[in-house]
Amino acid sequence: MQVVIVESPSKAKTINKYLGNDYKVLASYGHIRDLPSRDGSVDPEQDFAMIWDMDAKSKKRVSEIVDAVKKADGLILATDPDREGEAISWHLMEVLHARKALNGMPVRRVAFNAITKKAVTEAMANPRDVDQALVDAYLARRALDYLVGFTLSPVLWRKLPGSRSAGRVQSVALRLICEREMEIEKFVAEEYWSLDAQVTSGGSAPFTARLVTLDGEKLTKFSLGNAGDAARAKAAVEGSRFRIADVQSKPVRRNPYAPFTTSTLQQEASRKLGFNASRTMRTAQRLYEGISIGGETVGLITYMRTDGIDMAPEAVQDARAAVKGTFGAEYLPDSPRMYKSKAKNAQEAHECIRPTSFTRHPRGLKNLGTDEYRLYDLIWKRAIASQMEAARLEQTTIEIASSDDKTGLRATGSVIVFDGFLKLYTETRDDSESEEDGESRLPKVTAGADADVLDPNTEQHFTQPPPRFTEASLVKRLEELGIGRPSTYASIISVLQDRTYVTMDKNRFIPDDKGRIVTAFLENFFARYVQYDFTANLEETLDEISDGKADWKQFLRDFWREFNATVQSLSELRITHVLDALNEALGPHIFPPREDGKPARLCPTCNEGELSLKIGRFGAFIGCSNYPDCNYTRQLAKSEADDPELAEGKVLGVDPNTSLEVSLRTGRFGPYVQLGEENKELKEKPKRASIPKGWEVAEIDFDKAMMLLSLPREVGPHPEDGEMIEAAIGRYGPYIKHGKTYANLPTADEVFEIGLNRAVTVIAEKLANPRGRGQTAAKPIRELGAHPETEDPVNVFEGRYGPYVKHQKINATIPKGMDPQKITLEEAVALIAEREAKGGTKKKATKKAATKTTKKTTTKKAAKKSTKKATKKAAKKST
């Protein structure tokens, strides 16, 4: 009996069917161990010795593998064909050696690029040893990322409270986003004009031409800089006679695109399908692991983590046969198209991402979910198109000149003569427009013939700032710079969003103020480690290690020597120095020029102090240097220039009951309304109320302010016990309260509108469906169906911290960018499996244990207290 180890249970089932009864295929469920998230897991003092740890689930699975291996005749490691796959095999060997399970048993390593019977059988016939160079590259990358993260992050926590973490590649990606935002903010739009006209010649149909020459000078983009220039150009066109000066037509060939790599798949899936990188990789993983076809699970695509764009010879022939059979011989080039990767050192899974069989047309696959179908269709079309004939176009340029040759117009157009690969596939640009110009046919005209130029029309334009990064354009830029690897891009982007360093608006990244502060800090004090060239050079060295051309320990020694020295040199750095540097670096963003011409950093309240970045326990804000005499604060992104009145307090009216002014203000936690002023002598703070979510600040008037300041509102006495029901807005939003029962309300408006009958009903529903500490039992917002393994329901819920999917006792958060209204059952099952693999029920167990401990402690304390009281009473009586 031979034991075969793969990563996932679904792969294990499929491959066991391929191999038969002489093999037992087990799953490791990904990595069996990892570096614990604590300081000291990588020890530079012990030549970068690493401490590896296993969670409870991994320990159980490893024990099963150990028991199986001890009874086996041989071990075959069949993990994925990349660096991570090689690392998992290495970890398994290390653990099995430590458990003394091998005892001289032969261990072979096999790698297959697709989960098909042919690919698996061929791989089993060609075993090899574990590639130590790839393992060394993995160890170097893992240690490097750990050392940077666990050394930089504590520096951030000490010097910039509220910051979450820093990472080797994550910080560079964040810098790209922040620099793009600064370009946008500094951008000054520039005006320019253009002139188009309709042209006919010899009775031809009219066509559009653009002015390119004026007064004998060739026009540039900004030659017509204002309305006066445009009017002068229009007068010149209207006052001239024209002829067709030249007609040129030339053939143009457009070749197909290479098949997908991980990076190009992520980019195109983002542009064409609206998938984020994580969603693309999850869906591709399911396509790789396969679906049931004729009672047998078959992988539909080759391995999806690759930099390679070449295709196996047999796959090329398969694709060419599909082209000829589907589109005809005229769409098949005379010889196969060969593609070569431009990457200096492509991933170890060298082949491109392609279908495992080109005869499996997407329309013929009935078992695919929506996401799987759309992504497979994209991969199938791109791979087929890569072996199709080039598109042939005819590009025509018509030059129209005035009789004195001082004024000229030009018309350009192209006509598709033969569509070639465009019949099947066109790539999409970052701006969501097709790269193809489309068919723009010009009429036949003769050089030298007279031309009529009609209806000259001038149009005003303004230059546009560079666009914010989308996921596709960010991945493309990282790849161009040689930073990170395609398999890491999805996790990099997720970390930036999870840390709230960036937010997404219309599928584009906007840096949060927290992210800008972290970037400014690193650029000022760790400049070298966020430089693009430096990070790219590290990647090159890691690639050299994977090729066996560099020693990984020496690489870490060289890096750590300089990096640690930089960190140590900042140990005495005072926060005031940090804030001075950040004030300078972020000045244009956080202290924009004031409309009244006063210094940008002059405090608008006391008119004496200087505004400065301040660091509090909840992060950064702007405050006055005259604190505590001046309490002026505001949010980092909010400037008094946006609404100068709010900085000092915009008076809305006077409360008739107290004769105190009611004002609208803005502070470090956002806009709020306030009654009166602070009494510093008595240390009495005025009554305040935050502006609830969904209410526009511009619409807050005196009446609305008084409504907020009047909370909590008495709704009425409960008919059963007469106790007052109150409505208010709290930390977690609007609610009503009766005794110790709290029930959430859907909107802030309902706090002021809810009547007694409705309030009693809401309270009754709460009591009838308690969950935890009296929380209403949640109802699913969508029911997805039965889990394929347990038949129990899988549903979508809306939670306090966002939407999630639930199966039995496992809750899995729906990632940002994935629409909870569109998530499929297959996607939900994958998320639940991921959560379960990470220990989905741990938190509940911990919570239970904690509750028990708390109860015990409370009981002990109560017993102690009562004993003390009893002793005191006895003492009093005796006296």
| pLDDT above 70 for 154 | yes
E strands within 507-659?
Answer: 508-511, 611-616, 619-624, 633-634, 650-654
Of 110-119, 327-336, 585-594, where does mean pLDDT reach its minimum? 585-594
* The predicted structure's pLDDT at residue 579: 86
* The predicted structure's pLDDT at residue 161: 67
| pLDDT above 90 for 421 | yes
| pLDDT above 80 for 615 | no
Q: Does residue 558 share a domain with residue 487?
A: yes
Q: Does 349 fall in a domain?
A: yes
Over range 655-674, report the average pLDDT.
Answer: 82
- How far are the Cα atoms of 112, 632, 689, 709, 711 from residue 647, in angstroms, in the given order? 64, 8, 16, 20, 24
Q: Read off the CATH number of the domain in which 211 is found.
A: 2.70.20.10
* The predicted structure's pLDDT at residue 640: 40
Q: Does residue 202 share a domain with residue 156?
A: no
C-beta neighbour count of 159 within 10 angstroms: 19
What's the mean per-residue pLDDT of the chain? Answer: 84
- How far are the Cα atoms of 523, 608, 621, 622, 711 from residue 590, in angstroms, in the given order? 17, 19, 10, 8, 34
Residue 824 to residue 375: CA distance in whole angstroms: 14
| pLDDT above 70 for 863 | no
- 256: nearest Cα among 356, 333, 362, 352: 333
End position of a domain, from candidates 359, 389, 419? 389
Q: Does residue 680 share a domain with residue 621?
A: yes
Q: Does 339 fall in a domain?
A: yes
| pLDDT above 60 for 801 | yes
Q: Does 581 fall in a domain?
A: no
End position of a domain, from candidates 443, 462, 481? 462
If one compares 278 and 552, the residue with the highest pLDDT of the two is 552
Q: Does residue 124 share a domain with residue 7?
A: yes
- 308: nearest Cα among 253, 348, 337: 348
| pLDDT above 80 for 407 | yes
**Dihedral (CA of 847, 849, 852, 856) sign:** negative
Q: Does residue 750 share a domain with residue 860?
A: no
Walk across the sheet containing 733-738 and list its strands: 713-717, 724-730, 733-738, 741-744
On the 0-12 / 13-18 / 19+ scale of CB atoms within 10 A, 452 is middle
Residue 343 DSSP one-character state: S
Tokens of 326: 């589907």
Residue 76 to residue 95: CA distance in whole angstroms: 15
Walk across the sheet containing 670-675 and list its strands: 650-654, 661-667, 670-675, 687-690
For 464-481, the pLDDT digits (tens) are: 999 999 988 898 899 888
Q: Does residue 560 share a domain with residue 597?
A: no
Q: Read off the CATH number of the domain in which 340 is found.
A: 1.10.290.10
Of 273-282, 393-402, 812-821, where does mean pLDDT reach its minimum? 812-821
Residue 330 DSSP one-character state: G
Residue 12 to residue 24: CA distance in whole angstroms: 9
Q: Read off the CATH number of the domain in which 88 is found.
A: 3.40.50.140
The H or E element containing residue 751 is helix 749-753
Residue 307 to residue 341: CA distance in whole angstroms: 7
* The predicted structure's pLDDT at residue 559: 93
Tokens of 872: 């005191």
- For residue 610, give every residue at least 6 positions away whose Cβ sits within 8 Å of its Cβ, in sequence order, or none: 601, 602, 603, 624, 625
End position of a domain, from candidates 338, 362, 389? 389
Integer-rounded Cα Rg, in Å, for the chain is 34
The dihedral region occupied by 545, where left means phi > 0, alpha psi between -120 and 50, and beta the remainder, is alpha
Tokens of 434: 């097709």
Over range 449-465, report the average pLDDT.
Answer: 95
- How far are the Cα atoms of 16, 121, 512 from residue 72, in angstroms, in the given order? 15, 20, 55
* The predicted structure's pLDDT at residue 343: 57
Q: Does residue 497 share a domain with residue 426?
A: no
Q: Does 454 fall in a domain?
A: yes
**Dihedral (CA of 593, 598, 604, 607) sign:** positive
| pLDDT above 70 for 133 | yes
Residue 120 to residue 114: CA distance in whole angstroms: 8
On the 0-12 / 13-18 / 19+ scale of CB atoms within 10 A, 484 is buried
Of 46-60, 148-162, 634-648, where does mean pLDDT reach its minimum? 634-648
- Share of residues in the chain with pLDDT > 90 (%): 39
856 — pLDDT class (breaks 50, 70, 90): very low
Tokens of 802: 């966002």
Q: Does residue 294 share a domain with residue 326?
A: yes
Counted domains in the chain = 8
- Share of residues in the chain with pLDDT > 70 (%): 88
Q: Does 153 fall in a domain?
A: yes
| pLDDT above 50 for 774 | no
- For residue 455, give every residue at least 6 positions away whose Cβ sits within 8 Å of its Cβ, in sequence order, or none: 197, 198
Over range 79-100, report the average pLDDT.
Answer: 91
Residue 757 to residue 455: CA distance in whole angstroms: 70
Q: Terminus-to-terminus CA distance in the chain, angstroms?
A: 86
* The predicted structure's pLDDT at residue 867: 45
Q: Does 704 fall in a domain?
A: no
Q: Does 150 fall in a domain?
A: yes
Of 494-498, 639-643, 798-802, 816-820, where does mean pLDDT reach its minimum? 639-643
Q: Does residue 173 share a domain with residue 205?
A: no
Tokens of 835: 């959560």
865 — pLDDT class (breaks 50, 70, 90): very low
Q: Are 7 and 79 in contact (CB under 8 A)?
A: yes
On the 0-12 / 13-18 / 19+ scale of CB atoms within 10 A, 292 is exposed
**132-159 helix and 513-525 helix, angle to the nearest 10 degrees:** 110
Domain extent at residue 67: 2-130
Catalytic residue IDs = 303
| pLDDT above 60 for 860 | no
Over range 229-254, report the average pLDDT.
Answer: 95
Q: Does residue 530 share a domain with residue 474?
A: yes
- 744: nearest Cα among 735, 752, 753: 735
Q: Does residue 492 share a domain with residue 548?
A: yes
- 613: nearest Cα among 588, 571, 578: 578
Q: Does 585 fall in a domain?
A: no
Q: Does residue 45 share a domain with residue 75?
A: yes
143 — pLDDT class (breaks 50, 70, 90): very high
Q: Would you list the DSSP string of 852-877?
A: HHHHHHHHHHHHHHHHHHHHHHHHHH
Q: Which residues of 550-582 are buried (b: 16+ CB within 10 A; e: fewer)?
A: bebeebbeebbeebeebeeeeeeeeeeebbebb
- 196: nearest Cα among 209, 207, 206: 209
- 546: nearest Cα among 139, 111, 167: 139
* The predicted structure's pLDDT at residue 768: 75
388 — pLDDT class (breaks 50, 70, 90): very high
Could you identify the residue written with the tokens 């008037």? 701
436 — pLDDT class (breaks 50, 70, 90): very low
